[in-house]
Amino acid sequence: MARYVFKRILMMIPVLLGISFIIFAILSFSPGDPVMMMLGDNPDPQAYAELTRELGLDKPFFVQYFNYIASALKGNFGKSWITKIPVFDEILARFPTTFYITVGAICLKVLIGVPIGVISAVKQYSIVDNVGMVLTLIFASMPTFWLGLILILVFSLYLGVLPAVGAESWQNFVLPCVTLAIGSAATLVRMTRSTMLEVIRQDYIRTARAKGASERVVIYKHALRNALLPVITIVGLNFGVMLGGTMVIESLFAMPGLGTNTITAIRMKDRPMVMASVLYVAFLAGVINLLVDLAYAYVDPRVKAQYLRK
Amino acid sequence: MSDVLLSIENLHVTYRTDEALVYAVNGVNLNIMRGETLGLVGETGAGKTTTALSVMRLLPDKIGKIEQGKIYLDGLDITAATEADMRAIRGNIVSMIFQDPMSSLNPVLRVGEQIAEVLRIHNDKLSKSEVDRRVDELMEMVGLPKERKVEYPHQFSGGMKQRVVIAIALACEPKLLLADEPTTALDVTIQAQVLAIIRELKEMLNTSMLLITHDLGIVAENCDRVAVMYAGEIVEMGTVEDIFEEKDHHPYTVGLFGSIPDLDKNIDRLTPIEGMMPDPTVLQAGCPFYDRCPQRMDICNTEKPAEVMKGTHMIKCHLFSNVEKAANVEKVGEV
Amino acid sequence: MTTKNVDKTGVGKPDSRDYTKKRSQLKLIMYRFSKNRLAVLGLCILCVLALCAIFADVIADYQTMAIKQNIMNKLQPPSAEHWLGTDQYGRDIFARIIHGARISLTMGIGTVLTSLTIGSIFGALAGYYGGKVDNIIMRIMDVFLAIPNMLMAVTIVGALGGGLVNLLIAMSISSIPRFSRVIRSSILSVRDMDYIEAARACGTKDSRIIYKHVLPNAIGPIIVNATLSLANTILSISGMSFIGLGIEKPMPEWGSMLSEGRAQMRYHPNLVIFPGIAIALAVLGLNLVGDGLRDALDPKLKN
């Protein structure tokens, strides 16, 4: 088992390298001069040359890339070109906000999505099912930021019960989490429903009924245990995607998280900051994927057997 | 206490799908005595599984429905029982084994747990150690090492999985076992083993059995009485001797036996029965075998034959009805 | 009291379910689709959208209504003259939404076609040649997949600057891995079939095999994925425009209408409600059609 984990971690390395290369290349070859951005329109030629040298921008692309990787491997991801603070400090400072939003959204989404999905499947074609299906379609089609705006309109501006911007207290996190959760919960409902429906049709469910088990036992002990397996994978993968995609929500609610930070960094052509942000998120997503796979193996004995053989 | 354990009277079962209404079982009458094995033979689609599921009241929810008829199990009216009553009997008084062992067990639960479950459902007073002991006992009874009760279904072969299924079915010592083609999905050698186990346990516990199969060889070896089913109706029923040795038979039974290769004869071709089963979405007014019967008569198309009894032997065919024999002068379409 | 379906003339007559009659595949799929009410609803929504996009200029003149600022008229509520009211620059909201349809659909379709083409090429190469080629291509796709979509798009647009072309590039890149996977798996599912070997043994050219066997297999999933990808693209474009990295002002893209309208939304919610409804309807229509197509192509998957 440990060997498998180690192999997976090794496999993340080429992926991270690939990502770093692509992003570095895009940022390096894009139009716009970061040095000009920092010094203004009519920079003093000497200051310009000095800054260029300081940032290593006078060297050829591959040398720059190599230097970057070399120092990154030592743990040094550089200083932000704009703020001059080490990028990692900034990222770590902003990470909690993004993390709370994402975790809050995932919890809400699971708490709403899974029960509704299960009920829809068990009572197929009932009112709950039909209404549920219509609602999920509608919510899944809505742009999240629009939903966010409407929620702000109702709860902040009209009712005044929740704040719209900032990240001071837990109330600030309610609307962002709910916004992210609803759209995602809609997809989860459909997924859960469809796996449950499939599982309920299986022979072993019929065996359980033939034993005289009550319907509750049949659903929870037999059906749900099997249906949740693919759901775990999806939710886990979604976590990684959410971490990287909070930009729009953070922007909407003016929260000082990684997302807004990345947008600003890109606009200002702050290469070290962008690199570090992207790599950090990709790394976290990779780790989460690995954890999800391990969790899946823990829960599904057939998969566990495969891993132990490796 | 009467000798009759299971009594099915005039059972009519339908399946309602989006596209059509399927008449799966049309007026089935049969009995099973205590301790006896009744074989239920017929082609795919004859309604055998539906009949068994009706006894367990396990027809697919909202789709399958018992339209008419009565089923009595050990005095209890199954057709009128509540769902709670049924849950108390399933796995306890009557059990069922299904055809495909590969998918009958829950893949994420240990095998021992799945056997223990049926014990706990019907015996909630048992202590944990008693349940464990009984699970061990059952594993050994079906020929599986008790140490393997902590393993998962995917670690067992098809034949071994079916043994687990048998253990689950017989755990509470039911009075009736419904076995729906229990060996069809298994290799021939494993088939023999599994059937031997079923026979052994049946003797030990004096369980009655409804053995559904399409294999006449299995019927000959394992059954006391046989019922032949076609298109939702029982067309012939009797003791094993009646069916295998008597000379009078329903034309369908003749066709079934004729389709089996005979070691003693030297023939070039097998004789299948021409045609296919009638459309199950259409209710037949006359005998359902009319289209394919080499001995059909006009009346066969318009009137359902009565069940003619000759001792223990029942044949549902106009050919054997005395009234019809007397009045019938010409036969049409002999092939 | 005779039964139907019984023929008295011969033994073994086939019953009324005539399995030999073959409906054309396409007709069968279209028939199944048409029975699905939600899918048909989605199709209607899409048709309305497409009509808006095509006839946008006829419905509302671009320059005078959607772009030209008219401060005198600003922030009018819905009225007979301005069906959905005006925004803070006096521009007619209804007109802007209609033209927004054109922008969203054009950009969306452009993106999907681009990523479909490029993705198919990669997927075909990977699926057909297998081995090392397959491995390399799939690894590269994995790298792109590992970067969250939005992040990738934002980086590209942020780096290359705004504008339609750059946006198209950014959006396409996110969708390429998905299409290459679809094509690759279609090819893989067919490649090892016996009848392909038989065809090769008869001397059939590879290109003909691809044309006659692989493509028909792949078309179904491609169309389904294309529809869903279009829905996602429209959502992404509006999201990007919302944070200011997408379509540039003053073009009436729905997402940027939302970001512009935000400041006014307390007293003039119409600025924010209607563009959002437009996006939701477009995406809903596409999702319904995509689901409907998926069910029509393989009803076994339906529950």
* A149 pLDDT more than 50: yes
Number of structural domains (chain B) is 1
Number of structural domains (chain C) is 1
Task: Using a CB–CB cutoff of 8 Å, tell me whether A245 touches chain C.
Answer: yes
Asked whether the beta carbons of residue C147 and residue A32 sit closer than 8 angstroms, the reply is no
CA distances B332 to B293, B321, C11, C133, Å, are 11, 17, 12, 71
Residue of C nearest to A21 (CA): C143
* A136 pLDDT more than 70: yes
pLDDT at C66: 65
Residue of A nearest to C242 (CA): A248
Asked whether the beta carbons of residue C5 and residue B285 sit closer than 8 angstroms, the reply is no
In this complex, the residue of A27, A248, A266 whose CB is nearest that of residue C239 is A248
- Quick one: which of C302, C256, C255 has its CA closest to C279? C255
In this complex, the residue of C4, C6, C17 whose CB is nearest that of residue B291 is C6
Asked whether the beta carbons of residue C3 and residue B301 sit closer than 8 angstroms, the reply is yes
For the stretch B234-275, pLDDT in tens is 999 999 998 888 888 888 888 888 777 777 777 777 777 777
Task: Using a CB–CB cutoff of 8 Å, tell me whether A138 touches chain C.
Answer: yes
Task: Give residues 54 to 113 of A whose Cβ lies within 8 Å of C.
Answer: none
The residues that bridge with B228 in the sheet, in sequence order, are B41, B236
8 Å CB contact between C15 and B280? no
CA separation for the pair A241, B93 (Å, rounded): 53
Task: Using a CB–CB cutoff of 8 Å, tell me whether B288 touches chain C.
Answer: no
Residue C10 forms part of a structural domain: no
Task: Using a CB–CB cutoff of 8 Å, tell me whether A157 touches chain C.
Answer: yes
Residue of A nearest to B57 (CA): A210
Residue C260 forms part of a structural domain: yes
Q: What is the maximum alpha-carbon separation in chain A?
A: 87
What band does B330 get if pLDDT is binned at 50, 70 and 90?
A: very low
8 Å CB contact between A273 and A81? yes
In this complex, the residue of C6, C12, C16 whose CB is nearest that of residue B274 is C12
pLDDT at C65: 66
* C137 pLDDT more than 80: yes
The one-letter code for the residue type at A123 is K
Asked whether the beta carbons of residue A204 and residue B104 sit closer than 8 angstroms, the reply is yes
Task: Using a CB–CB cutoff of 8 Å, tell me whether C9 touches chain B.
Answer: no
Asked whether the beta carbons of residue B105 and residue A204 sit closer than 8 angstroms, the reply is yes
pLDDT at C103: 87
The one-letter code for the residue type at A120 is S
Which residue has better confidence, C265 or B160? B160
What residues of A are in the B interface, CB distance below 8 Å?
Answer: 202-204, 206-214, 221-222, 225-226, 229, 299-302, 305
pLDDT at A48: 80
Asked whether the beta carbons of residue C12 and residue B291 sit closer than 8 angstroms, the reply is yes
The one-letter code for the residue type at C71 is I
Asked whether the beta carbons of residue B96 and residue A210 sit closer than 8 angstroms, the reply is yes
Q: To which H or E segment does residue B39 belong?
A: strand B37-41
What residues of C are in contact with residue B282 (Cβ under 8 Å)? 3-5
* B334 pLDDT more than 70: no
Asked whether the beta carbons of residue A31 and residue C160 sit closer than 8 angstroms, the reply is yes
CA separation for the pair B122, B94 (Å, rounded): 12
CB pairs under 8 A between B and C: 40
Neighbours of chain C (3+ CB pairs under 8 A): A, B
- Quick one: which of C59, C168, C150, C148 has its CA closest to C103? C168
* C87 pLDDT more than 60: yes
Which residue has better confidence, B2 or C4? B2
What band does A133 get if pLDDT is binned at 50, 70 and 90?
A: confident
* B295 pLDDT more than 80: yes
Average pLDDT score over residue span A230-248: 84
CA separation for the pair B120, C36 (Å, rounded): 46
In this complex, the residue of B89, B105, B155 whose CB is nearest that of residue A212 is B89
Distance of CA C283 to the CA centre of its chain: 9
Domain harbouring C240, CATH code:
1.10.3720.10
Listed in sequence order, the DSSP H helices in chain A are 2-29, 34-39, 45-54, 61-73, 87-122, 127-141, 144-151, 171-200, 203-210, 215-217, 225-244, 247-252, 258-267, 271-299, 301-309
pLDDT at A107: 93
What band does A139 get if pLDDT is binned at 50, 70 and 90?
A: very high
Average pLDDT score over residue span A117-139: 87
* C42 pLDDT more than 70: yes
Could you tell me whether strands B225-230 and B37-41 are parallel, antiparallel, or unpaired per DSSP bridges?
Answer: parallel
Residue ranges making up the domain that contains C148 = 34-297
Residues 6+ apart with CB under 8 A from C181: C119, C123, C141
Q: How many helices and strands, by DSSP H and E, does chain C display?
A: 12, 0
Where exactly are the structural domains of chain A?
A: 2-73, 102-254
Task: Using a CB–CB cutoff of 8 Å, tell me whether A141 touches chain C.
Answer: yes
Which residue has better confidence, C257 or A44? C257
What band does B69 get if pLDDT is binned at 50, 70 and 90?
A: very high
* C54 pLDDT more than 70: yes
* B182 pLDDT more than 60: yes
CA separation for the pair B260, B187 (Å, rounded): 19
8 Å CB contact between C303 and A198? yes
CATH of domain A102-254: 1.10.3720.10
What residues of B are in contact with residue A211 (Cβ under 8 Å)? 90-91, 117-118, 121, 168
What band does C9 get if pLDDT is binned at 50, 70 and 90?
A: very low
Task: Using a CB–CB cutoff of 8 Å, tell me whether A267 touches chain C.
Answer: yes
CA separation for the pair C52, C60 (Å, rounded): 10
Domain harbouring B57, CATH code:
3.40.50.300
CA separation for the pair C301, C303 (Å, rounded): 6
Task: Report the mean per-residue pLDDT for chain B.
Answer: 87
CA separation for the pair A25, A62 (Å, rounded): 9
Asked whether the beta carbons of residue A210 and residue B90 sit closer than 8 angstroms, the reply is yes
pLDDT at B208: 93
Range in A241-245, B323-327, C88-92 with the lowest mean pLDDT: B323-327
8 Å CB contact between B46 and B229? yes
CA separation for the pair C243, B292 (Å, rounded): 75
What is the least distance, in Å, from the CA of A298 to any CA of chain C? Answer: 24
DSSP state of A78: -
What band does A88 get if pLDDT is binned at 50, 70 and 90?
A: confident
pLDDT at B331: 44
pLDDT at B171: 92
pLDDT at C10: 37
Asked whether the beta carbons of residue A300 and residue B56 sit closer than 8 angstroms, the reply is no
Share above pLDDT 90 across residues of chain A, in percent, rounded to a whole number: 14
Neighbours of chain B (3+ CB pairs under 8 A): A, C
Global pTM value: 0.80
Share above pLDDT 70 across residues of chain A, in percent, rounded to a whole number: 99
Residue of A nearest to B52 (CA): A210
What residues of C are in contact with residue B276 (Cβ under 8 Å)? 12, 14-15
Residue of C nearest to A183 (CA): C280
Residue ranges making up the domain that contains B306 = 4-334
pLDDT at B112: 93
DSSP string, B204-226: HHT-EEEEEES-HHHHHHH-SEE
* C8 pLDDT more than 60: no
Given the structure tokens 């006839």, which residue do they identify?
C55
For the stretch C208-263, pLDDT in tens is 776 777 777 778 888 888 998 899 899 988 988 888 887 777 788 888 888 888 88
Contacts of C291-294 with C-beta under 8 Å, sequence gap 24+, read C291/C38, C291/C39, C291/C42, C292/C33, C292/C36, C292/C38, C292/C39, C292/C40, C292/C42, C292/C43, C293/C33, C293/C39, C293/C220, C293/C223, C293/C224, C293/C227, C294/C224
For the stretch C255-301, pLDDT in tens is 888 888 888 888 888 888 999 999 999 999 999 998 888 888 776 54
8 Å CB contact between A307 and A4? yes
pLDDT at A55: 78
Task: Give residues 265 to 284 of B whose Cβ lies within 8 Å of C.
Answer: 274-276, 278-279, 282-284
DSSP string, C87-101: -TTS-BHHHHHHHHH
Q: How many of the other CB atoms lie within 10 Å of CB of C142?
A: 14
CA separation for the pair B261, B271 (Å, rounded): 9
What is the least distance, in Å, from the CA of C291 to any CA of chain B? Answer: 20
CA separation for the pair B52, A278 (Å, rounded): 61
What is the least distance, in Å, from the CA of B90 to any CA of chain A? Answer: 5
Task: Report the mean per-residue pLDDT for chain A.
Answer: 85
Neighbours of chain A (3+ CB pairs under 8 A): B, C
pLDDT at C21: 40
Interface test with B, best of C4, C11, C302 (most B CBs within 10 A): C11
CB pairs under 8 A between A and B: 74
8 Å CB contact between A265 and A176? no
Average pLDDT score over residue span B17-46: 89
Interface test with B, best of A195, A204, A211 (most B CBs within 10 A): A211
- Quick one: which of A14, A12, A23, A13 has its CA closest to A276? A23
pLDDT at C270: 84
Given the structure tokens 């109702």, which residue do they identify?
A154
Contacts of B123-129 with C-beta under 8 Å, sequence gap 24+, read B123/B172
pLDDT at B329: 44
Interface test with B, best of C6, C16, C32, C303 (most B CBs within 10 A): C6
pLDDT at B190: 87
Range in A165-174, A216-225, A267-276, C92-101 with the lowest mean pLDDT: A165-174
Residue of A nearest to C287 (CA): A141
pLDDT at A309: 65
Angle, nearest 10°, between helix axes A87-122 and A271-299? 40
CA separation for the pair C239, A246 (Å, rounded): 11
- Whole-angstrom Cα Rg for chain A: 24
What band does B1 get if pLDDT is binned at 50, 70 and 90?
A: low
CA separation for the pair A291, A284 (Å, rounded): 10
Q: How many of the other CB atoms lie within 10 Å of CB of A163?
A: 18
What band does C64 get if pLDDT is binned at 50, 70 and 90?
A: low
Task: Using a CB–CB cutoff of 8 Å, tell me whether C203 touches chain B.
Answer: no
Q: Is the ipTM above a cut-off of 0.90?
A: no
Range in A196-200, B76-80, B161-165, B317-321 with the lowest mean pLDDT: B317-321
CA separation for the pair B41, B57 (Å, rounded): 21
Cis amide bond preceding B251, omega within 30: no
Given the structure tokens 């699926």, which residue do they identify?
C127
- Whole-angstrom Cα Rg for chain C: 25
Where residue A43 falls (left for φ over 0; alpha for ψ -120 to 50; beta otherwise) is beta
